[in-house]
Amino acid sequence: MNEHRVVITGLGAVTPLGIGVEDSFNGFLEGRSGIARVTHFDVTDYRSRLAAEVKDFQADRWVDKKSARRMDRFTQFAIAASAMAMEDSGLVSYDRNRAGVVIGSGIGGAQALDEGYSTLGKKGPRGLSPFLVSRMLVNMAAALVSIRHGFKGPLSAPSVACSTGSNAIGDAFRIIQRGDADVMLAGSSEACISPLPYGAFCSTRSMTPSECAENASRPFDKNRDGFVMGEGAGVVVLEKLEHAVERGARIYGEMAGYGNTADAYHLTAPEPEGDGMIRVMLVALKDADLGCEDIGYINAHGTSTVLNDKCESAAVRKVFGEYADSLKISSIKSMTGHLMAAAGAVEFVSTVMSVFTGKIPPTINYREPDPDCTLDYVTSGAESLDIGAAMSNSFGFGGGNSCLVVKKYQKNGNS
């Protein structure tokens, strides 16, 4: 197969720290928290009461009010993040038949489903809106982004729980690599801070019961006790290198490697020895044709759950050996909470920005070291580092693992 080089030329994000990449990434570097008590609905009777909600989001900045009412919040986020990524890329002239979309979600139209169940109970089936289907389907974000931009190439909407965003970007990377498209919009969106999904995750006891928003999400800290649900979207523009160079695009970085593995072990718990995590990082490194010492930074999955943080730390040490002590590692989930299916995409956007700017966001709320988590988690504020290549990890319920590697762009192909 003739493998084309793939570069990142546009970034878009909707996060609990801001609308847009600049506001969000600056917030990450400043160590600001987007976590507070839930405002979308009354959480008095719920085990957990905190979330990282997107603030001040106005859908009519990107779509007319009538269209916005026919979209679930997760689709609105995806539309906004995609529009920002396209504007950032400067793409104007391109073959629409060779431009595609891969944007996933985990739960899809959560608010639409909640509202639909409520209407069904009160008014019966005749009370349901004909737009309920298009609001709740997981593929609607990808489909409406495709329609908005007239992208007629490959279209898909992966749903792989918390690794969805990374899988979407990795799949789009492969599509361009093998020559099936020149341009891809790729990422993920989630807006599931709604009574049913929020309550369901409360019942798993995987979310923190903490009432203290300031330090509720504390990845790798000894006293971590669960994740905080968040919402948002991340989308990137990927391009075939020749296509980007020909139009004089600004290049943030080069896609170098992608790994995708399964634990094949348990519905919610990671494999105890970190087998799938280890293999996915090794696969991504091999795909990137890089050695361990070529990686300067890892944007960790780092959920603030006891098992994940312990297993991920052990897996990194297994893969990188003695060099693991030289790696910079951080989890922006300490600030954004867990954006669920959107996490991998937003974290990849952050990783790309770290490579591009040489700035690494910190892991906030780290107070007490855990003897099972002994790496450098960048806990004393943002750090500066000339990063040749970086890795972004995502691991999801059901045992799905994905890993993306991005490297600094060099014309000769070497980082």
The answer to whether the CB of 285 falls within 8 A of the CB of 392 is: no
DSSP 276: H
- Listed residue (375, 385, 399, 379) closest to 317, CA to CA: 375
Show the tokens assigned to 178. Answer: 């093998």
- Listed residue (136, 158, 188, 206) closest to 343, CA to CA: 188
Show the tokens assigned to 315. Answer: 């897996």
Q: Is 414 exposed, middle or buried (0-12, 13-18, 19+ CB in 10 A)?
A: exposed
- Quick check: helix, strand or coil at residue 103? strand
Whole-angstrom Cα distance, residue 326 to residue 320? 10
Whole-angstrom Cα distance, residue 3 to residue 175? 10
Phi, psi of 198 (to 5 degrees): -65, -45
Q: Which of 162, 192, 202, 403 is catalytic?
A: 162
- Quick check: helix, strand or coil at residue 406? strand
> Is 4 noted as a catalytic residue in this protein?
no
Rounded to a whole number, what is the largest CA-CA distance in the chain? Answer: 64
Identity of the residue numbered 318: K
Q: Which of 243, 301, 311, 373 is catalytic?
A: 301
Number of helices (H) and strands (E) in the chain: give both, helices first.
Answer: 13, 15
Tally the residues of the chain. 415
> Is 162 noted as a catalytic residue in this protein?
yes
DSSP 278: H
Place of tokens 């546009």: 10
Task: Report the 10 Å Cβ neighbour count for 248.
Answer: 7
Q: Which of 149, 192, 338, 373 is catalytic?
A: 338
The answer to whether the CB of 185 falls within 8 A of the CB of 149 is: yes
Whole-angstrom Cα distance, residue 53 to residue 225? 20
- Listed residue (409, 332, 389, 348) closest to 12, CA to CA: 348
Show the tokens assigned to 33. Answer: 């928290």
> Is 192 noted as a catalytic residue in this protein?
no
Active site positions, annotated? 162, 301, 338
